[in-house]
Amino acid sequence: MEQCPCGSGQTFDACCDPYISGSASAPTAEALMRSRYTAYARVAMDYIFETTHPDQRGDYDADGAKAWAESSQWHGLEILAKEKGLEGDAEGNLEFAAHFSQDGKRYVHHERAFFRKGDDEKWYFYDGQPVTTETVRREGPKVGRNDACPCGSGKKYKKCCIDNAA
């Protein structure tokens, strides 16, 4: 039996196939997210469109989405955080990392995705925002490699703590 591309540990038939084939609706935002990842991996673009919230379909780039799905090799999905999105909720969001490669280079698509239920009580992808790393700002001056080590050893930084940091 084939493992589901979404990384749930289940077989494709028991996991995302019922949602993608239309025989069932995803019961949670996470199930929808996993099935949408699997749909990209299997280039099931009709499912991607159908599970995009009707209010957002005007912005959907079908050709671009299909080109991305077809040109990528999909390596796995990580759900990093979730808020709401359970069966009784009307909305929820997930932070995820989708691992893929193109032209031999590996990438990670890191996003916070927002989901809403429609009037039909089905879950839909509503919007997504890329997650970026915050810039780290130093409180004090930068220690140069040839400066005295701040640990007080009397050695140069490059010969003391910088060597031990690696």
Tokens standing for residue 127: 């919007």
pLDDT attached to residue 111: 97
Identify the sign of the CA torsion 86, 87, 93, 94.
Answer: positive
Tell me: the pLDDT tens digits for 139-166? 777 777 787 777 777 787 777 776 555 4
CA distance 56 to 18: 24
pLDDT attached to residue 150: 75
Tell me: the pLDDT tens digits for 87-104? 999 999 999 999 999 999
Q: Over the range 54-91, which residues count as b (16 or more CB within 10 Å of their CB) and which as e?
A: eeeeeeeeeeebeeebeebebeebebeebeebeeeeee
The residues pairing with 156 across neighbouring beta strands, listed in sequence order, are: 148
Can you give the pTM of this predicted structure?
A: 0.79
Tell me: the pLDDT tens digits for 26-37? 999 999 999 999
Task: Please give the domain boundaries of the chain with CATH numbers for all domains.
Answer: 12-130 (3.10.450.50), 137-165 (no CATH)
